[in-house]
Amino acid sequence: MKANAPDAAPLEPLVNSIVTTTKQMPGDYDIEYASPWAGAAFQPYILVCPKKKTADGNAVLGQSCHSWHRLSLKLVSISRELTSNARTKTLKAMTCLLDHFSLQTHGFVVYSRTTATLKQEELPKGVDSGFKYTGVCINTSLYLPWLLGQCRAQGVILKRGAVSHIDDLKTMHHSGKPADVLVNASGLLARDLGGVLDKSVVPIRGQTVLVRNEAGPLYNISGTDDGDAEISYLMMRASGGGTVLGGTYDKGNWSQEPDMNIAKRIIKRCVALSPQLANEKGVEGVEIIGHGVGLRPWRKDGIRLETDFDFSTKETLVVHNYGHAGWGYQGSYGCAEYVVELVEGFQKDRNVVDEAKLWRFLHLLSSAIVERSTIP
């Protein structure tokens, strides 16, 4: 699945027979599979969404916040104080802005337990505005296997395989019968998937450093003095998962090898932001576990979350759910709920499901069990 893996891992009993065809799974490390490299922390976003034919991105973010608060995932996530800061000179260069005004623009404040605007004396050097809030940071190395287990426990059939054309999925159900519903959650691979070929999907390269050190409050800053493609953030994972230091936001860069010069700058910036990270020892006090590179699946017109009427027929519904850039984990449950609505409407029109039952499972194409997300 993808940042929308929850599409196939809800908590209600299985109503439909689901097959997930996926190229990568939890435990795999591949440049096409960005999920393991993610931070992954929640933060306010201002999203670009087309005005027609697709769900509103900010609405699905709000739904996701509600869903995450309902889940008891103490093992894989942790509630932390997060601080997001903005530099006026870098805001216009950002694809997804994360300044304090976004708290008011899409209602994030409603879903966070505590929020507060930072005073001038609380801001890091070079920062113009900021806010702090209680959010969630996910340990992806624990969450992805957990999510896979939820799918298996509910009877989802998992298949490894690469698909060249979306029509190929119609004959890939394990029963041998044609599929009623196809959900394309292919992420970055939507560029080359036959029947989709969405060249407006491009990678935004994110480079991180995973360290053993524990951070205090999590930080996120909209830019740096080291170039437009570099940002700064610290995200401590739950259950001994270390701290993710970042990062980069480099659109159109396909490079999968970590740049050690960038890594040094990342560490230097993060230690300056949070000296306690290295026990006041400077960069020499940072214990590196490893370096990571992930490719966020960004789409020029925002997420594509809609029914494809060109490929859908009376027998088969095709739904697209991709283009989540850096907020795949964060928006996963909201996007899944919207996909569910589309599928429920299709099934009710065909009278193939009891209206008293809640549809929860979908036939998913995916670049991986969770396609990506949230290297911020």
- Omega before 185 within 30 of 0, i.e. cis: no
Extract the residue ranges of the chain whose pLDDT is less than 70. 1-15, 44-114, 351-376
Residues 6+ apart with CB under 8 A from 141: 36, 237, 241
Asked, for residue 100, whether it belongs to a domain, the answer is yes
Residue 253 host element (H or E): none
CA end-to-end distance (rounded Å), the chain? 20
Asked, for residue 99, whether it belongs to a domain, the answer is yes
pLDDT score, position 363:
37
Cα distances from 278 to residues 272, 275, 303, 344, in angstroms, run 10, 6, 38, 51
Residue 335 host element (H or E): helix 328-350
Asked, for residue 374, whether it belongs to a domain, the answer is no
Phi and psi based region of residue 226 (left: phi greater than 0; alpha: psi -120 to 50; beta: remaining): alpha
Range 238-275 burial, b when 16+ CB lie within 10 A, else e: beebbbbbbbbbbeebeeeebbeebbebbbbbbbebbe
Q: Which amino acid is at 13?
A: P
Asked, for residue 112, whether it belongs to a domain, the answer is yes
Asked, for residue 376, whether it belongs to a domain, the answer is no
165 CB neighbour count, 10 Å cutoff? 12
Task: Yes or no: say if 266 and 209 are a contact pair by the CB < 8 Å rule.
Answer: yes
Q: Any idea what DSSP says for residue 74?
A: T
Cα distances from 301 to residues 66, 199, 233, 253, in angstroms, run 25, 11, 26, 19
Q: Which among 242, 225, 331 has a CA at the least distance from the CA of 292? A: 242
Summarised one tens digit per residue, pLDDT across range 203-249 is 999 999 999 999 877 888 877 888 889 999 999 888 888 999 999 99
Q: Note the Cα 17 to chain centre separation in Å.
A: 26
**Domain residues for 57?**
5-368
Token digits of residue 244: 């993710």
Task: Yes or no: say if 233 and 209 are a contact pair by the CB < 8 Å rule.
Answer: no
d(CA 47, CA 57): 6
CATH number at residue 73: 3.30.9.10
Overall domain count for the chain: 1
Asked, for residue 373, whether it belongs to a domain, the answer is no
E runs forming strands in the chain? 19-24, 77-86, 115-117, 129-138, 157-160, 181-185, 201-211, 218-221, 230-236, 243-248, 250-251, 288-299, 304-307, 317-322, 364-368
pLDDT score, position 60:
60
pLDDT score, position 92:
35
Cα distances from 4 to residues 7, 26, 219, 339, 348, in angstroms, run 6, 14, 26, 9, 23
Asked, for residue 101, whether it belongs to a domain, the answer is yes
pLDDT score, position 357:
37
Asked, for residue 31, whether it belongs to a domain, the answer is yes
